[in-house]
Amino acid sequence: MILCPRCANTLEGPRLSCGSCDFTADNGKWFDFEPGESIDSFFDEHEFDHRFVAEPTHYWFRARRELLLDVLQKHVSPRSRVLEVGCGCGYTSKSFSAAGYDMWSADLSENALGYSVQNSLQQLCRVSITDLPFKEEFDAVVSFDVVEHIPDHRRCVEQLRDALVPGGTLIITVPAHPALWGSWDEIQRHVRRFRPSELQTLLEKAELEVVTVRQLFAALVLPALAAAAWDRVRGGHRGGEQRADEHRAMWTPALISQVAYQALAVERRLLNTPFPGVGTSLLAVARRP
């Protein structure tokens, strides 16, 4: 079901209209469910302007897209109905759609959704992850590096769970290890980084059956530890905007990006092995009973 945000009646028709009140979700660009909060509480709206340009070639986003498509194809059948919550500029949803999945893509940011339109995504929604209008609607729900932005992690996961049909699959990623906390987390407005056991417990408390929790991006652990130590030594006296500019300026040097991409691509070959690894991110796959 897809519910009206005003009266909780079931929405119907191609424009997702409510028969009990005058609400229609379709605004001509996307389905707008009138979320009651702003993206500014959780993320810098202007960051999407940079990401729209950087993501296609940036080593981390490129490697992550390919790895996550492998994970989706391993756990979710082709042509399944999939919701991505926190789709950003839409590059991951676009790659999933090209692989044959029936994608719905959602974000709180109108700026991000505008870029998703430019990426030719069709079924776009403006929603809040803490108040999703979907109940038992999707075969799979995915949310990548979103939960760490929201203080109420458990409510986020419960909302993602409720959007799944019984037996549906949830796939999420979050930053790993509090010891890696640095200025980048502050710039990105993260609330926390997770230990593997903490993510496992979060999913279990939401009454989900955990399939796997594993670490990703082992090649980045030592650089991340060095960056976190450097931030503790030097970062405290610099403003967040200055640090953000420095990070953006360093994001995509071509040679470094290519070498890092090749290093991260190795992990795709380890996904089907018992290799536990260590990494800067956590991947979790779980199912709704």
- Long-range own/partner contacts, residues 191-196 (CB < 8 A, 24 or more apart): 191/148, 191/149, 191/150, 191/151, 191/153, 192/148, 192/153, 193/148, 194/148, 194/282, 196/282
Q: What is the predicted pLDDT for the residue at 285?
A: 98
**CA pair distance 48, 109, nearest whole angstrom:** 9
Q: What mean pLDDT comes out for the span 142-159? A: 97
Dump pLDDT digits (tens) for 67-102.
Answer: 999 999 999 999 999 999 999 999 999 999 999 999
Residue 247: band (very low, low, confident or very high) from pLDDT cuts 50, 70, 90: low
Q: Does the pLDDT of residue 160 top 90, yes or no?
A: yes
Q: What is the predicted pLDDT for the residue at 274?
A: 58
Pick the CATH number of 35-287 from 3.40.1130.10, 3.30.930.10, 3.90.700.10, 3.40.50.150: 3.40.50.150
Residue 250: band (very low, low, confident or very high) from pLDDT cuts 50, 70, 90: very low
Q: Does the pLDDT of residue 237 top 70, yes or no?
A: no
Q: Name which of 35-39, 40-44, 112-116 the model is least confident about.
A: 40-44
pTM for this model (two decimals): 0.92
* Residue ranges matching CATH 3.40.50.150 in the chain: 35-287
Q: Does the pLDDT of residue 53 top 60, yes or no?
A: yes
Q: Which of 175, 121, 126, 169 is nearest to 146 (CA)?
A: 175
Between 153 and 278, residue with greater pLDDT: 153
Residue 276: band (very low, low, confident or very high) from pLDDT cuts 50, 70, 90: low
Between 60 and 253, residue with greater pLDDT: 60
Between 104 and 258, residue with greater pLDDT: 104
The 3-class SS string of 19-44 reads CCCCCECECCCCEECCCCCCHHHCCC
Q: Name which of 100-109, 150-159, 268-277 the model is least confident about.
A: 268-277
Between 119 and 278, residue with greater pLDDT: 119
